[in-house]
Every structure is written in C-alpha cells, then in structure tokens.
Structure 1
C-alpha cells in the first residue's frame, strides 16, 4: 500500500523483543537445542570439542549454572559478563550430558567463521577483492577497504557505542539533528548537536545501515564485517519522524564538513511515495542539494524503495536524478527481491542544469543485496527489528550485537560501501565516473530489464579493477547492447495453494484453463517440509487436456533445493490439472504455496525462419527474456549447431555470469578476438557463476585445449548440462555425484540411463542434476513383447549429440524457469 508520508525504505519486522526467557518453557519441554553442525561433530571420533553453551536467563550465568559445568568435569572455558553464555572445551560425553540438563538452552559448535555480510559481500565480490594480491599491491600493500573515505549515513542515527562502529574511531562524527520548525521563535541558522555517541534511539535502522557500509565485524570475529570497514563513517541522525528538511540537513552537513572528514559519499535509505512515477523535477530541493554534492565530488546513493513489484514505484522523483545512484534490492540467489521498487520501461528525458544537458531515466542504477541482511543492532535501547529472523539465522552469542533486516534500505549502503572502495582505489574519480563504472561492470540478471534492476547486480570485484586499471568493461552488459531479435511478451501470474496429504489427495489437485495462443506455461511450488527446513519428497505434475503428464521430478538434493518447477512450451489450449504426488508414500503432509505463470508472445522481429518450428515458442520466450538472440540478417537458424562462442554469449546475457577480465590485462585465449573475447573470459573465469558467491567453482564452459577456446566448435548435450548446472551454482554438488549411476525419474520410479557409459566421467554429476532439475530431458522408449505382462521402459540421454540452436532455446527457457 502506498502512503504519502516520508518513510524509511526498509521492511520492518513487527514482532516482540526476543529474549532468552521468552523461549525457556518451550525449550525445557523439548530439551536443549543442539547445533546440527555440533550433532555431526559428536558422531565423529574426537577427544574434545569447542562449544558455545547458552543457559536460560537474561544475564551472566549464575553460580548454580556454572556449577553444572564443574560437576561434569568441564574445566576449560570462559563466561560472559552480561550474557548467559559460556565457551567450553568438553568431551562428546560431557556435551551429551549438558544437553540433557534443564538449565541449558542451546549448545553450538564454536566453528571457524568466514568473512561475510551474511553472504552479501561474497555475492558482490567484496570478499574476493579484499584478498586479491594484485589489488593489495596496487593499494600500497593493504587490502582495499575504503580507508580514509568519509561516508555520511543520512538516516535515523547511529549507535556509536556498538563495538563494530565505535564512536570516535570508526564513526568519526555522530550528529543529532532535527528541524522542528514549530520549536523556533526566530529565523536562526541550523544547529547540530555533534559528538553524540548514540544518536539512534528510535529502532536501529541507521545503525543497521551503518554496519552494512563499513562495520568492522569486531563482535563476530569479522563474520558480519561491512563492505568498507576502513571508511570513516559520519552519522547524521534525524530520528524516526523525519521530514524533507531533516534529510536535506544531511546534505548540508556533508557539504559544510567535506574537507574536515574527506566526505565523498552519502547514503540515503528513505523516500516519498507520493511522487512515485512522476517526471524528474530539477527544482525539487533534494535534487538541488544532490546536484551541489555532485559538483563537489560527493556521490549520492539512494534506496529505490519497497513498493514493488509493480512498475512506476520508485519512491521519489529525486531518485531519477542523473547524478545520483539509485539501488534496487537483490536476493542472495541473484534475483530481484519482490518488494523492490521498479521504474518504467523507456521512460526518461533530458534536462539542462547549470548549462549542462543530462539524461535521466526512470529506473534503478544497479541492484545490490537487500534481502535477509545481517548487520549491526542498536545496543540501547534494545530493538525488536528482525527478531523472528534473528533467532533462525544468528547464533546466540551474536544476537546482542546483530539483527536481520530486508529492504532497499540495506541495498543502498552496500552500494555506498562499494563506492568508498572505488574512491580509495582511485580518489580522482568523479561521481559520474563512479556511476559509470558501477553500471559498466554489473552482472546481467536473468530475465530482468533495465527498468527493474538497472544495469544488473553490482560487481565490486570488477568495479575496483576498473577503478585501478581504467580498463574498459561493459561489452557484455545487456543494457548497453543492441539485439537482432525482439519479442513482446504478455505475462500473467496466479498464486496457488495446495494441501498435500497422504490420506486425502483431493486437496492436492487444482484445475485451470489455458487459453489459445499461450507460448509458455510454468508451474512452481515450494515444498519445504518440517518447519520449513527439511524439504519434502513431493513431485509436481501438470496434466494437459489429452492426459499427457509433465513432471518436475524429485531432486536428489530435495532437502536443500525445495522448489519444484514444470515448464511447458506451446501448451495445448483447454482444461489442465496441477497435482502433487508423494514419492513412495513417504512425503509429509504440507500446505504448499505455488504459482502458475502463462506467457503469450505478441509481435516479434528478427526471427524470420522459426514459424512452425517445434522450438518456436521457446525461441520467442528466450528472445523476450534476453536468453538468446538471432542473427543480423533477421534469421535465427534453429537447426544449426550451437557453437561454443554463442553459448558463452547467451549464458552471459541471461544465465547469471559475472563480468571478468584478467587482472594482469593479458588474454587467456589466442583464438578469440574482438567483442567475443569478453564473453569467453567471463565464462572461463573461476567463480564465473553469479550463484557461486564464494568464487570457488570452476568456469561454466567445459575447457578444451590449453590457451584455446575453440569458439566455432559445436556443443554436446553433456557439455550443455555442465554449463547450465554450473550456472546454478551447483558445481560442487555435481562433482560429488560423479561416481553414481545415472538415473531419471519416470512416474514414481527411477530408470537407469542406458547410454551413461558415453557420458565423460567428470560430467556425470552435471548430467544427473540437469535431468533432476528437468532442464534437459531423457529420451524414453517403451517396448512390450507379445507375451510380456508389463512393458519395459528404457531411457537414453544421447550425451555426445550436438545441440542445435532450437534445442538450446528449449533448454535455456527451462533453465530460466528453474532460476
């Protein structure tokens, strides 16, 4: 619901304040909660374990609770002064005895941590650039951290008493400001109360934002470190009830104190929905203020707003200013968050300001992580923000210091932190150059357009490289490319709820009608199992008017990947049925949420030779979603073999691949030239898949000879399986299945793949997952002798067959449905 009030653009979880005492009764009945990682460790042969024990209560462990440890012979450890938590070294037998004690709330493994902002800094490449040796050498021997760059957090305030922010050191200035005009008796200069340790007394929004920009992660041993922990943070706090003057005061303060604190960035996670969808107004006081900052070399960052998913919902005309950076919110799966505000396709214009002509557009600039972000919690007063998510996502020892929030409010400071990294790498960059680098280095987001996500998912690693080297990125960015083929697609989505039950299957069936001319039908459910965590062995099936069934199959990885998707191109018009089937009678009863999506292709150009082809609908869908493209002569050539360079181009366009250029400036391949080289480098790079946040996986194309890309070589079905599974970030899972027999789901049984010996050993796991995910299909044959009671079903994969361009269109649209 839109409001006309000024709002902080984040999703605030309205829930009671979490306390250990509030769950003590339920825990007593169920026993102590044991960390799954610790349970696994207890099953191994180990002499001692480091564990974190949380007792019931709200303060330091009592004498009687510490006595519990002593009576069990536990003599190594430490106890917090204010928290009911101890760290211990104990044997598996001692831990098992502790778990049965009614005084114990939970026991967790004292596991090693990785440096992250709840995967956000991994996903955008911040962690990767921090440990890059070339960047470190270019930066005087130290990792790029935003050191010395002043970033103003124009928000509700900052709790500088938080050790991750530390007023007087990391937070170099903290200002309390409020422009209550009714409290003034005469016309006076604006006044600030400076050097206030804690200015965030209204809920913790600004403190959370500040931690994303550059919290040190001290209270989590670096786990929840911000994007630019070396930056100087300046808090400008207006409290919760803010008005336009309050926010403008932040811009004024940045200008007034720019030299004193080397202010180069200001981040703003607030907006007004009253003027969403309006034209850009250069006379808006906020636009005037941000232009002044632009002229002085200060980069202004805005959150896009949380009024999505409809178009024309960006909250504030000032977020369309050509000199600011406006940030949409992405998920950790590199998708656009449903709540993130969108712009309008093709809407924009030019404006002359101070004698210079600017082009403005109604869209975000880039997308950054904004869903389920863990960052600094205001220490006092205790905030209830994100309390429910916190219990599920944050270990007890960290709960007093961190909380979970979602919104474009979280995406904007992430981008602001990256800007600080760029300005440390190259302090001479202007705001316009910073904005261009962020857009030119962004990663394309599968199935989204500029008016939704901007140039794509922000890519800090490539952006910092561009800031250091000045090398030209952007060749692969969809927003900057011209395409040969275009299709207009009309999309309708319908939410569905089904009640799966082993005893009553009637609730597991839903009937619906498919109109004539529908290009694609996609059904999706999420079978989460017990407490939304275990997964469920439920199969999703669509039945067409003739009784033909289309199945999602049961993932071999169903506890980890709980969604099921069925996609049908050119579905037959008439009455269809959507139903759920439990595998072998072991599926759990569950209310399952899902969605039916239909797409109908309208006018199209640049596809002169696909009419009547079996893959016609898939080709139109792929072109519409920028998953593939035709040729300059207006043809698509659906029966030609797919080449490796075309596969590289298409997966970079629409399958979730990061931009990458070798840091040394050298080229990896001697047989790729011109524009094609950027695509080849991107797919070959380690950690190429955007869904590989830790940059650990191999490239997304099967390698050929060393130093060769073989751009004109045809792609086989097994090689395509590798590419699509790698792009989903499942490379490690695929490699773990290399030695398993290949099978495919057929009805309620699994059928062996008869030609599995033809699948190269290193691709077997990828083929298996491609089959399980229903991206690539097996070919079934049913035979029955004259005296056989039952038919024999065999299945082939045809792994060495070349993939045609039409084949690829079908596969990539199935991939997109899964993505």
Structure 2
C-alpha cells in the first residue's frame, strides 16, 4: 500500500524567522492606521474590490474575522484557487488596514477588461490593482504603430478605468517594481510607489520600486506617493519585506524564508503590489470619515498628508530628496493624518 502524504495546513499565526521583515500589524502601525481604528475609522460599510491571481481561504483571514467575498469572472469559476499566492497574500495588506471593509476578490487572468468590469459590477468605492504592462517607454502614437492589437487593448482598458473614475470609484494601481508600468502611469489613477522601513525605523525610497516620467502620458510622474515596500537585492533573503499568508503549495509559499519554515502557508514578499492595497485600505478609512469624497479629493489629501522621504534610490536610480520628487512622489502615506484632514474638511463644509 502506498504511504499517504502529509498535507501541510497553513497556520493562522506566521512563523518566527530570523531575517528582518515586517508583519501586517507593523504595516498598520507604521502607516498610523491603528490610530484611525481607535477613532472607529475601520472601513465599515466601504467596499474594496481587488483584481489579482486568486483569493484562497486561509486561517489568517478567518482568525481576523475579515469580510471577504471571492468573485468569479465570466471566464473564471474558481476564485478561491491561487497557485501563485500573490492575490491571497497582497490582499492581507488592505484587509489589515481596513479590517471592517467589505472586500471583493476578483480573480484576474489574461482578460483585464473583464476583470475590471467584474470588479466595477460589485459596486465598490475602491478598486485596487497590482498588475500592468511594462510598456511606458514610448508615446501612444508609437505604440499604435508598433503593435496595433496591444494599442487597442490598452485603449479599452483606459476607457474602462476612466469610466469607473468618472463614476466616483477610486482606482489604484501599483507603480511597478522596476517596470515602466501601465495602467499605473495613467494620470487619473492613484499610482503607488515604494518606501522601505529600516530596522531602526528610518524611511528611504525602495530600490525595488519604479519611478519615472511617462511617455504614454507626457509630464505624468510615477508614483503619486508610496506605501511600504522591501528592498531589492541579488542575494537571499531580501530584507524589509512583509510576512503574508499564502496557500499551501503556491509559488510564493516560503518566499525569503528558511526551508524549515517554508511549508506553513506563509511567504515574505511585498513590492508595489503590497503598497497599492495598503493605500486602498487607507482610502477605505478616509471614506469611513466622509463617504462622499471624490477620487480627486482622495488623491489630493493623501498627497498633502504624506510623510516626506528624503533618502534612498529607486529601481530607476532616482534619488529621494526634500519635498515632492520623482523617487517617492509626495512620500509615504499617513492614514491618520489623511483621516484627520478629511475630518477637518468635513467640519468646515
């Protein structure tokens, strides 16, 4: 008789590993979302949709009581299957910051417009996306000449996103991990870059995150501001990334972890893929204060209240400096300052 294998169940609590990393609780604290929670700003009644690789069930989500709905698109019927682990893990960033939000995980495959339209159909106030194309190195006209099929697809996506924003949905995109990323370069989206946090608490521009001036949209600088992202490197383990829950057997299980802890349903990773849902969670907190904020108002408040990042160099070799810069935009988002400004603005209306 064959010997039955052991199936490793994910643990609700992350394993203890020696490499310097952050937990979702650290992200909540560092972005000052915990102060928002004490005011009762937790995202209750706010709907966040996220398009990604899938959204597996994991004990971490159950232990925290998160409200998650996993949504199929017309061409995908298994949103709970996530062989990558990317969607499952990165969703924990948004959910930890806005623990009482209504979260809709839309599984995304090759059909981006379909995924976005499915997300829009959930009637969210926020859509967060950690994907794109590394194509913003040429003008829209040149792209059309070089690849008309890709150009047509890009224009369809552009229109879908623009329509969502016109309808009052805050659409967030990762700015990229060294890519010249579209749709993160669209002027109307919230484009999120990366700031890393050292062990002593110091902030610097992440060497993993993109920073560039768009060719598709002249004068558009990416990013607008940043979430928390680890550092890039050619040796393992990489430092400053986030311990996130993933399905057993997924590609990201055990990422940046010693082999003795690699089969417990966790991985250590981040990128602007983590930063975008972090910002989505903060937007949900802001909408807890005033649900009538427009996408433009949200972006302006997040920019005005961000913490300036003055050191560090990005993946595109842009160096952070005093004030708004190409490396980090306005700086690292600050949930509490943003919510206080929303509250103050509401009081003067």
Which TM class, normalised by the smaller chain length?
0.7 to 0.9
2:107 aligned partner: 237
Q: Deviations for 1:379-398, whole angstroms, at most 9, x for unmatched residues?
A: x4x22426252349xx96x9
Deviation at 1:123, TM superposition (A): 1.7
Q: Deviations for 1:586-645, whole angstroms, at most 9, x for unmatched residues?
A: xxxxxxxxxxxxxxxxxxxxxxxxxxxxxxxxxxxxxxxxxxxxxxxxxxxxxxxxxxxx
1:125 aligned partner: 32
What secondary structure sits across from 1:284 in the alignment? helix
Give the Cα separation in 1 of the matches to 2:297 and 2:176.
24
2:281 aligned with 1:412: no
Q: Given the superposition, is the C-alpha separation of residues 346 and 266 from structure 1 closer, same or farther in structure 2, using an over 3 Å criterion?
A: closer
2:48 aligned with 1:151: yes
What secondary structure sits across from 1:165 in the alignment? helix
Deviation at 1:117, TM superposition (A): 1.3
Q: Given the superposition, is the C-alpha separation of residues 116 and 387 from structure 1 closer, same or farther in structure 2, using an over 3 Å criterion?
A: closer
Deviation at 1:336, TM superposition (A): 1.3
Q: Which has the higher strand share?
A: 1
Of 254, 259, 277 in structure 2, the residue corresponding to residue 387 of structure 1 is 254
Q: Given the superposition, is the C-alpha separation of residues 256 and 145 from structure 1 closer, same or farther in structure 2, using an over 3 Å criterion?
A: same
Q: Deviations for 1:788-814, whole angstroms, at most 9, x for unmatched residues?
A: xxxxxxxxxxxxxxxxxxxxxxxxxxx
Deviation at 1:443, TM superposition (A): 0.9
Q: How does 1:59-78 map to 2 (within 5 A)?
A: none
Give the Cα separation in 2 of the matches to 1:451 and 1:107.
36
1:176 aligned partner: 72
CA RMSD, 1 decimal: 3.6
Of 112, 120, 127 in structure 2, the residue corresponding to residue 247 of structure 1 is 112
Contact 1:387 1:403 in 2 (8 A): yes
Q: How does 1:589-628 map to 2 (within 5 A)?
A: none
Give the Cα separation in 1 of the matches to 2:33 and 2:68.
23
Contact 2:135 2:180 in 1 (8 A): no
2:232 aligned with 1:373: no
Give the Cα separation in 2 of the matches to 1:460 and 1:83.
30
Give the Cα separation in 1 of the matches to 2:27 and 2:342.
21
Q: Deviations for 1:49-102, whole angstroms, at most 9, x for unmatched residues?
A: xxxxxxxx9679xxxxxxxxxxxxxxxxxxxxx699xxxxxxxxxxxxxxxxxx
Q: Given the superposition, is the C-alpha separation of residues 107 and 152 from structure 1 closer, same or farther in structure 2, using an over 3 Å criterion?
A: closer
Contact 1:154 1:237 in 2 (8 A): yes
Q: Given the superposition, is the C-alpha separation of residues 197 and 251 from structure 1 closer, same or farther in structure 2, using an over 3 Å criterion?
A: closer
| Runs of 5+ unmatched residues, structure 2 | 142-150, 231-240, 312-319
Contact 1:58 1:83 in 2 (8 A): no
Deviation at 1:346, TM superposition (A): 11
What secondary structure sits across from 1:319 in the alignment? coil
Deviation at 1:451, TM superposition (A): 1.8
Give the Cα separation in 2 of the matches to 1:125 and 1:172.
23
2:129 aligned partner: 268
Deviation at 1:191, TM superposition (A): 5.5
Q: Deviations for 1:192-220, whole angstroms, at most 9, x for unmatched residues?
A: 63xx57132x2210001111110xxxxxx
Q: Given the superposition, is the C-alpha separation of residues 445 and 288 from structure 1 closer, same or farther in structure 2, using an over 3 Å criterion?
A: same
What secondary structure sits across from 1:470 in the alignment? helix
- TM-score by length of structure 1 reads 0.34
Contact 1:120 1:332 in 2 (8 A): no
1:314 aligned partner: 180
Of 462, 465, 468 in structure 1, the residue corresponding to residue 340 of structure 2 is 465
- TM-score by length of structure 2 reads 0.75
Contact 2:174 2:193 in 1 (8 A): yes
What secondary structure sits across from 1:428 in the alignment? coil
Q: Given the superposition, is the C-alpha separation of residues 230 and 83 from structure 1 closer, same or farther in structure 2, using an over 3 Å criterion?
A: closer
1:343 aligned partner: 212
Give the Cα separation in 1 of the matches to 2:252 and 2:339.
33
Deviation at 1:279, TM superposition (A): 5.7
Deviation at 1:277, TM superposition (A): 5.5
1:452 aligned partner: 327
Contact 2:243 2:267 in 1 (8 A): yes
| Runs of 5+ unmatched residues, structure 1 | 1-56, 61-81, 85-105, 109-114, 137-142, 178-189, 215-225, 308-312, 350-359, 473-664, 666-819
Q: Deviations for 1:668-692, whole angstroms, at most 9, x for unmatched residues?
A: xxxxxxxxxxxxxxxxxxxxxxxxx
Contact 1:365 1:453 in 2 (8 A): yes
Deviation at 1:120, TM superposition (A): 2.1
What secondary structure sits across from 1:456 in the alignment? coil
Q: Deviations for 1:274-318, whole angstroms, at most 9, x for unmatched residues?
A: 3345469997222211111111111111011111xxxxx5311x3
Give the Cα separation in 1 of the matches to 2:102 and 2:211.
32
2:235 aligned partner: none
2:314 aligned partner: none
Q: How does 1:544-583 map to 2 (within 5 A)?
A: none
Q: Which has the larger radius of gyration?
A: 1
Contact 1:345 1:450 in 2 (8 A): no
Contact 1:153 1:209 in 2 (8 A): no
Q: Given the superposition, is the C-alpha separation of residues 278 and 455 from structure 1 closer, same or farther in structure 2, using an over 3 Å criterion?
A: farther
Give the Cα separation in 2 of the matches to 1:441 and 1:149.
21
Q: Given the superposition, is the C-alpha separation of residues 314 and 275 from structure 1 closer, same or farther in structure 2, using an over 3 Å criterion?
A: closer
Higher relative contact order (CA 8 A, sep 6+): 2
